[in-house]
Amino acid sequence: MDLDELLHLASPIIGDLGRGFYFTPETAADGEKLGLNLYEYYGLGRGGVLGDVEAGTARAAFGYFEPGVFAMLWEAARAKADPREAGRAYLQSSASYGRLHLSDVDGLADIVACLDAVNDAADAVGLALYAAVKQEPLVDDAPGRAGQLLTVLREHRGSAHLVALRAVGLSDRLAHHLSRPQDAALFGWNPAEPPEVTDEHREMRRKAEAITDDIVRPAFAVLDDAQRTTLADGLRTLREAFPQEGLPDT
């Protein structure tokens, strides 16, 4: 399989599956154990791998959220739970989600081996959220590890895309509006006051996507042809195994 074919197939599937556990009842129950509601657990759990940082630091690693709204979420959550504890618990929630849906998938060990190879090869320099979550230990069982690797590799491309937006000079708010204008309120923006979008902005976003591909491509390039086929077929299988919940792309 051609490397770019794999990249363009894998990236959206990893993006979708890596977030699948974010707002499930099981994840909500995990957050409640730390005294966090579901959205607080999302914010502190996903960002807690960065440590006990200021809200502005965490928001910069996330991107897309209205800064004041994100700060309220972050500060409310870290007043209730330790960020590092929440970050590790959140990655365990991802493992639990994998176990719930992937335990009967044939050939899962081979798929996990490919995901592991990509994660091991990925350069985390300059990719704040990915660099932090990559340092966390992963579980050993294949279903749990698959769930975690999908989440970790989702942060790989997400962090790379923020770098690409900076490279082309497009704000994260504009990029988010171009992709998901219907989700403005979910990210704290006033939907009645959308940013002005021009053809130049659309071209900048297209360039940012290409740069993002350039950043993440070397990680996938470590796979030989047989492994690329294994990963492509495996990701299609995983997509069928997970529920299609249509959650907002956060």
pLDDT digits (tens, 9 = 90+) for 183-210: 999 899 999 999 999 999 999 999 999 9
**Residue 24 zone, left/alpha/beta (φ > 0; ψ -120 to 50; rest):** beta
Q: Which residues of 139-151 are buried (b: 16+ CB within 10 A; e: fewer)?
A: bebbbbbbbbbbb
Considering its fold, how many domains does the chain have in total?
1
Residue 1's pLDDT is 85
Q: Is 250 a domain residue?
A: no
Q: Which of 103-117, 143-157, 185-199 has the lowest mean pLDDT?
A: 185-199
Residue 50, CA distances (Å) to 11, 16, 54, 191 in order: 24, 23, 10, 30
- Determine the structural domain holding residue 64 and report its residue range: 3-241
Percent of all residues in the chain with a pLDDT value above 70, rounded to a whole number: 98
Q: Cα separation of 223 and 57, whole Å?
A: 34
Q: At 74, is the secondary structure helix, strand, or coil?
A: helix
Residue 64 DSSP class: S
Rounded Cα distance, 153 and 175, in Å: 21
230 pLDDT above the threshold of 80? yes
> Maximum CA pair distance of the chain?
50
- Residue 246: inside a domain: no
pLDDT value at residue 249:
43
What pTM does this model have?
Answer: 0.94
Burial track 113-132 (b if 16+ CB lie within 10 A, e otherwise): bbbebbbeebebeebbbbbb
Residue 149 domain-assigned (yes or no): yes
Taking residues 145-153, report their average pLDDT: 98
pLDDT band at residue 245 using 50, 70 and 90 as cut-offs: low
Which residue from 27, 53, 26 is spatially nearest to 39, judged by alpha carbons?
Answer: 27
Question: For position 243, what pLDDT does the model report?
Answer: 87
Would you say residue 166 lies in a domain? yes
CA–CA separation, 42 and 29 (whole Å):
12
Average pLDDT, the chain: 95
159 has pLDDT over 90: yes
Question: Predicted confidence band at 247 (pLDDT cuts at 50, 70, 90)?
Answer: very low
